[in-house]
Structure 1
Amino acid sequence: MSCGTKSSTSIVKIGGGSSGGGGGGCGGGGGGGSGSSGGRRSGGYSSVSSRRYTSSGGGGFSGRSYGGGGSRSSYGGGFSSGGSFGGMGFGEDTGLLSTNEKLTMQNLNDRLASYLDKVRGLEEENAHLERLIREWYQKQGPTGTKDYSQYYRTIEELQNQILLDIDNTRMTVDDFRLKYETEYTLHQSVASDINGLRPLLDQLTLARSDLETQFESLKEELIYLKKNHEEEMRGLQTQSGGDVNVEVNATPGINLMEKLNEMRCEYERLIENNRREVESWYETKMEEVNQQVHSSGQEIQSSNQQISELRREYQSLEIELQSQISMVDSLQSNLEDTERRYNMQLQQIQGMIGPLEEELASIRCEMESQNEEYKMLLGIKTRLEQEIAQYRALLEEGSYCIQADIKRQPDFWHSISCLAALGSSTKEEHRQEKCRILCSIWREISFRDEKCV
């Protein structure tokens, strides 16, 4: 049997005799240290783990050497064929071990089994209580964290809509500002054109006033000439109205009345011609001035219309250019925001991928190590099974030799019984006695092995 217990996957009873097999361990007998990563078997319970085999079995033998001592793989078992070979003691059915010792061993074995059953029951009860506590927390405990992902998506959509509305409003404000600036510039240009045309209007007004003054002066001169002519005509008529009878014996003179009439007619003709010429010149000048004013007004109007059309076209092109520029700016800002957001998401994903890759690498390394450990344990299991079969055969063959040795070598078995009687005493004289007995047993076993070989 084995004293050492460990929370492991299974407890297997290996070897052991039919009666009182697997002594040592709890009752006494040293030896049988366990290796760091090997397998170990004893005559009692062996603790088997998925990673490590540990047991504190009672003395055994390593290789072909019987007795105490540590080794990488120590085996403890018993030969039973009418007798038993424990950790450090051998016994017959008639008994090298007393009835009290057998009862003690059986009691210890029963206590160990009950202890293991109690541990298993406590573990099951603990698991049941943990399950009940989890169920109670699931039913009565605080509710789990709510899933706000839908609200987050709605908030994100609203934020994007608000940003889009802000961009559209900003673009509209920029468009109205551009329209105001273009209209203000057009107003300023029209005002400057009006201010530029005012001197021309003043010049035309002055020219018209000059022509009117010239017309008035010529009209007054004509009136004055008419008055002078009438006065001269009246003076000549008064002069010609008196009766003068002068008889002169002279050559007949020139007819003055006729000459005066001719002169009057000539002057009247000249005056009329001058008047017609002045009127025609005035009319032609007025027509020319009116035509010039009309043509200049039409030209100014057409120029203003052309300027207005060009300015409207320039304004529309400027507005379109500004709208395109603002659209490009908004698209660039959206592109930058999108790139920034996706870069942040990519960094987050990469940050998540890094630990996952490390975890995957660690899992792969652990899988490889577990695979290697599994292969190693499988090889150890195979070797142990082979050794178990070999030692079982040796035990079956050696049982007959032991019975014969018991009959042939009473001193040897007397030494073993003395060693078993000493038990696990810690007194110095008992320890020395045990060492002496072990040495004699060792020499006897070595001698017997040489004979067997």
Structure 2
Amino acid sequence: CGRTFGYRSGGVCGPSPPCITSVSVNESLLTPLNLEIDPNAQCVKHEEKEQIKCLNSRFAAFIDKVRFLEQQNKLLETKWQFYQNRKCCESNLEPLFEGYIETLRREAECVEADSGRLASELNHVQEVLEGYRKKYEEEVALRATAENEFVALKKEVDCAYLRKSDLEANSEALIQEIDFLRRLYEEEIRVLHAHISDTSVIVKMDNSRDLNMDCIVAEIKAQYDDIASRSRAEAESWYRSKCEEMKATVIRHGETLRRTKEEINELNRMIQRLTAEVENAKCQNTKLETAVTQSEQQGEAALSDARCKLAELEAALQKAKQDMACLVKEYQEVMNSKLGLDIEIATYR
């Protein structure tokens, strides 16, 4: 079919022994070429070039889209892992919240029980307070009665003191009267003695008759002595009786005064004791009212705090449930988007 020339060929594994082979030449290649330009070839080449550019552009766009989809896939996988971890954490936190809410409910029940107990204690304290108030009113009434008795006894003591003063004044007057009567009696005796002595002198001077003047004088003197002795005895008896009566009156009034003073002292001690008991009851009443007020405030504060915490926890639990529902919905949307992207990526591949 053509001319053959000599040609040395070698193997791949190493040099082969030299040999001369025939060379065949295509005769068509030796014919002169037709160098005429086809007018449609330039248009075809241009179209092919444009198609290649378009294909390159589409290929670059597909590559960019694939890269973007891979990035979205990575992002979705990261979100998926994050949501899985968050769901696990939320699933772990939900029992914790429920336990905490249950604890708060128990605390609220305990607070309600304590409020009931405090209410019963408050009723008991109010009953005790009412008893103390009644006792205080009774003590006040007793004190008023004691004060009235004290005033009456004071009036009696004043009257007794006035009577004692009157009796002392009467005693002084009687003593002065007795002294006056004694002096008067002595003066009368002296006057009688003087008169008797004067009479005896006159009789002696006028001794014209034979009379026994000594007997007469002795008789008169005896009569006067008898009268004086009877008067003295009567005066002394009257004085003794008056003194005894005054002593008895003084002793009686002194005993009455002593008893009155003892009663006054007893009433003063009773008033002091009742005043101390009233002050003690007032202090206890104030302390009990303060304790009741503090207990009510503490109970109300604890109950309000427990209710606020329970409301906050219920709101937090409701919000957590809503967030969980939103996350589940978002997770479903992400999974749907991922599935669509996986299908689209599989389609482009």
TM-score (norm 2): 0.50
Of the two, which has the highest radius of gyration? 2
Bigger strand fraction: 1
TM-score (norm 1): 0.39
